[in-house]
A and B are shown apart, each in its own frame.
Chain A
């Protein structure tokens, strides 16, 4: 079933890709092939392979239980928040929180996950910023 859904999604993607390829505005100075042809070929391959996947599905993959899906989803949300808040909060604070969260969700105890979070954040800051001179996001506190 997963493969059938995947194939249909792929087909929709291919159709969408082809439509937006046809909508590309051609410049008056174009080569013999133009900017549309290659994307259209790709869309055809994408559509064809999606159709085959939908028609001849593989065995069902092992999807995680709902709880685990929520787990992955929550991690994605945390990482998005991390990306957005990085320039606001500064590297050290944001990273400490994100790493603490990940360590906690992977099964660290309360003290261990805070240590991992702070350790990761400070470790990266010292090695990459202070030693190697990489520019990291600066927050209001300057680090």
Chain B
């Protein structure tokens, strides 16, 4: 009951003209970015963050704008999967499997609208899941002391490696690199400069927004330059959509699938380290095992379109749960959203729910509103977004690069930050070539200071006794999960991941 009252307050916040317009803008931009191959949810949100700041938006409006982009990208990714057999972003990979065959059968319109409905169901149920689960998680999180938080951060990094890369050593490297970058600057506890090498610009530390935009957006530009991929993927093909509305019987037959995979995707999203890609992957595989009696999956079965779409949208909502309730994001895009909160001086975690309930509930209400907007945009207006696929990347990529520069320059106004961003762009390009995941780097730069502070607080409270880190049952439990999460993929994960990764190349590095 209390929850519903808070939700009501949330709607009161979200239903202002400004917030509605921001949600609409976010949904539109998000769908476009999701639809364009090469611009995924994390890229899209990363490019827009600096703009949200420079516009002087408050915490709630910025979050509404950016989460609408996030949800929108999850919707948009399916468009090019279905029409071109090229996933618009990584979570939409599985949608290719049945979506494109459907389009070839002349059912493109049905596939698009069915997947739009599935996306809606997934995201809608996941938002309810967020409302129910997040406050419960907050109750547990309130029991956490510094030692438990340190263990929780370790858990986030160790489990992230299990899903985001085929090589655990490389994700450990990435996490350590990110954490190392976070230590640059004046030490918050003693005031001594660390790793600044006398450079005054480094005393404040590296701005994680600069790192994010460089690693995600600029490295994408370099990848396109390297392949001289200047055309549009849709060139020379006719994008025939045909009939737009699926028959009721098709929706009916897909309903159980959508409900099951929404649930599964949500769980996958909540788990640390697993993002929307994993959500759509396990949704598709489970549904294939469960209902594919006549071996129609892979040949244009509508259920094979509904399953991954409901799964990835539900996972996108689920991934918001640990980000909001614990302050530990589970996926690339939620890491970027965490950066937004941190930059706005809001620390997510249990206290967010008591200190800034307006932010939390305003956001939740905005998610509901965005969802309905997205449904409207993605079914009757889907033709508009298919046009976007015709934009060749030789025009798109210069715009992406320049908007990134404008955004970062708008925040700091310093050439130094632009140079650091270019450095991160080059680093991101090299690391993507080497199949090193970028998400742990981002997470490291974001959480590094909090992780170190909790470590030092815990040990200091116990007079320098390091064993205090594994002193309570709660922290022992967290460490156990962390170790299992790190070791298990080494044993059983290789097979699953090999199957999940076989359909992609450098996209994997920024997986969500």
Contacts and interface: CB of A to CB of B under 8 A. Distances in A.
A126 interface: no
A117 B343 CA distance: 32
Nearest to A46: B176
Contacts of B395: 103, 108, 112, 116
Interface in B446-469: 451-452, 455-456, 459-460, 463-464
B183 A38 contact: yes
B170 A53 contact: yes
B454 to A, nearest CB: 10
Nearest to A73: B426
A130 interface: no
B54 interface: yes
A71 B228 contact: yes
Interface stretch (B244-252, B280-288, B427-435): B427-435
B415 A87 contact: yes
Nearest to A20: B195
A86 B419 CA distance: 12
Interface residues of A, number: 74
Interface stretch (B2-10, B11-19, B184-192): B184-192
Contacts of B406: 91, 95, 124, 128, 134, 136
Contacts of B167: 53, 58
Interface string B215-238: 000100110111111110000000
A106 B169 contact: no
Interface in B161-208: 166-167, 169-170, 172-173, 175-177, 179-180, 183, 187, 189-192, 194-195
B222 A58 contact: no
Give the interface SS of chain A, mostly helix, strand, loop or mixed: helix
Given A24-B192, A38-B183, A76 B176 contact: no
B492 interface: no
Give the interface SS of chain B, mostly helix, strand, loop or mixed: helix
A134 B422 contact: no
A31 B188 CA distance: 11
B418 A86 contact: yes
Interface of B: 51, 54-55, 166-167, 169-170, 172-173, 175-177, 179-180, 183, 187, 189-192, 194-195, 218, 221-222, 224-231, 393-395, 397-399, 401-403, 405-406, 409-410, 413, 415, 418-419, 422, 425-426, 429, 433-435, 451-452, 455-456, 459-460, 463-464
29 contacts: A6-B434, A33-B456, A35-B192, A38-B451, A39-B183, A53-B173, A58-B170, A68-B228, A72-B222, A72-B429, A76-B426, A79-B218, A82-B405, A83-B405, A83-B415, A95-B406, A99-B401, A99-B402, A102-B225, A102-B397, A102-B398, A105-B225, A106-B224, A107-B230, A108-B394, A116-B394, A117-B398, A134-B55, A134-B406
